[in-house]
Amino acid sequence: MSASTSTVRWGRAVAEARTNIALVKYWGKRDAALNLPAAGSLSLTLDGLVTRTEVRFDGKLNEDRLVLNGKAETGKPVTRISQVLDLIAALAGGRERPRAQVESTNSFPTAAGLASSASAFAALALAGSGAAGLQLPPPALSVLARRGSGSAARSVLGGVVLMNRGTAADGLDSHAEELLSIDEARAWGLRMVVAVTSEGPKETLSTDGMNRTQETSPYYAAWIKSVDGDLAAARQAVLARDLPRLGELTEQSCLSMHASALAARPAVVYFRGVTIEGHRAVQQLRKAGTPVWFTCDAGPHIKALTDAAHADAVAAALGALPGVLSSRVCLPGAPAQLIESGSGAAA
Ligand code: 2P0
């Protein structure tokens, strides 16, 4: 082991991060190697959908190990966490690092299809850097999480989060920032209803879906061109606490993103029948006076932005749709948190 490595305190740490739902979506990259987004995005961090991750550097291990919800993983998931741990080692000044035991659990059933790389890589970035003795400020932590997964950059922060596209070639200005704290977002009364429509892993992974959209969709350029304006308008709507305007932009951004994906060749289709029925139900609720707006991500689940006074009724209405397995109301969530850190088994 190099001299510089021996000065790093390789220990263990535990961190928690929550998933987030984008109101202005991220879909496309300006640099694949550094995982830099082609445009900014805006999200709500959600309470209750938590990933808890322990990283323990251990000089006795000869490879990184990942245990996800009690099951040992191999292959690509391990390679992805190893890459983030290598970046942490570089930040810590170590030329080499001990291998690590990483154990991660989700507070929500992975089979429900809500398992998210956002909470996973935000928790990994915080636990990994903590286990290497680093106390990274939120922008640096967000940059690190972004290297694991673009949406993870946002889960480092709580409340309403703005992800900056950045312009620097090294990507160091491409990080998230808090636009409203968890307390401000809760005081406003923001709620996200999540209706789970199917079990099992998604059919096209987000990274593959967005890459295919970027490479083949004739509508990709128009989609990216629309994001800056939507983002500026959504930022204003958040600062003005204008829920109808934010909701309108949320629904537009989601449908524009999916329109670009639908036009990819071959098409990237995340909707199922129930997803479209969810959109229709949200429109009908809105016509009847409920402040609620539809969104969905790289999967068939229905999400609806609403307020505290209407969230239970929205969850009940979406929960009653044929094909919806369960629905829940999520409050704005907290930033990623370091739960424990200390010396571990690292030699
Ligand atoms: C978002 N999604 O803004 C968008 C909307 C899904 C649909 O960010 O390639 O898993 O790891 O950076 O973060 C999912 O993309 O993609 C995503 P990578 P990620 O939430």
User: How far separated are the first and last CA of the chain, in Å rounded?
Assistant: 10
Cα separation of 136 and 125, whole Å? 10
**CA neighbor of 297 nearest in space, from 9, 46, 4:** 46
Which residues, listed in sequence order, are joined to residue 101 by a DSSP beta bridge? Answer: 56, 65
| Residue pair 324/302 in contact by the 8 Å Cβ criterion | yes
pLDDT tens-digit map of 204-247: 889 999 999 999 999 999 999 999 999 999 999 999 999 999 99
171 φψ region: left (φ > 0), alpha (ψ -120 to 50), beta (else): left
Check if the beta carbon of residue 163 is closer than 8 Å to that of residue 26. yes
| Ligand 1 centroid, distance to 324 Cα (angstroms) | 23
Instruction: From first to last of the 347 residues of the chain, give the pLDDT tens digit.
Output: 444 445 888 999 999 999 999 999 999 999 999 999 999 999 999 999 999 999 999 999 999 999 999 999 999 999 999 999 999 999 999 778 999 999 999 997 664 556 679 999 999 999 999 999 999 999 999 999 999 999 999 999 999 999 999 999 999 999 999 999 999 999 999 999 999 997 666 678 899 999 999 999 999 999 999 999 999 999 999 999 999 999 999 999 999 999 999 999 999 999 999 999 999 999 999 999 999 999 999 999 999 999 999 999 999 999 999 999 999 999 999 999 999 998 755 44
pLDDT at 201: 65
Distance 117 CA to ligand 1 centre (A): 8
Q: Cα angle at 241 between 238 and 244, to 5 degrees?
A: 90
Q: Which of 116, 206, 296 to mutate to test the pocket of ligand 1 (most atoms within 8 A of CB)?
A: 206
Angle between helices 220-239 and 206-216 (to 10 degrees): 120
With a 6 Å cutoff on the Cβ, whether 211 touches ligand 1 is no
pLDDT of residue 9: 87
- Rounded to whole angstroms, the Cα distance separating 23 from 81 reads 27
With b for 16 or more beta-carbon neighbours within 10 A and e for fewer, the 212-224 pattern comes to: bbbeebebbeebb
- The whole-model pTM stands at 0.95
Q: Is the CB of 153 under 6 A from ligand 1?
A: no
DSSP 301-319: -EEEEEETTTHHHHHHHHH
The answer to whether 118 and 149 are in contact (CB under 8 A) is yes
Helix, strand, coil shares of the chain, percent, nearest 5, are 40, 25, 35
- List, for residues 237-294, the tens digit of each pLDDT value: 999 999 999 999 999 999 999 999 999 999 999 999 999 999 999 999 999 999 999 9
- Asked whether the CA dihedral 216, 113, 152, 275 is positive or negative, the reply is positive
Taking the C-alpha atoms of residue 290 and residue 309, their distance in angstroms, rounded to an integer, is: 10
Can you give the pLDDT at residue 334?
98
Distance separating alpha carbons of residues 131 and 55, to the nearest angstrom: 6
- Single-letter code of the amino acid located at 98: P
For position 224, what pLDDT does the model report?
A: 98
Q: For position 347, what pLDDT does the model report?
A: 44
Annotate 74-135 with DSSP letters as a single string. -SHHHHHHHHHHHHHHHHHT-SS--EEEEEEEESS-GGGTT--HHHHHHHHHHHHHHHTT--
Token pair listed for 169: 């070639």
Report CA(205)–ligand 1 centroid distance (Å).
9
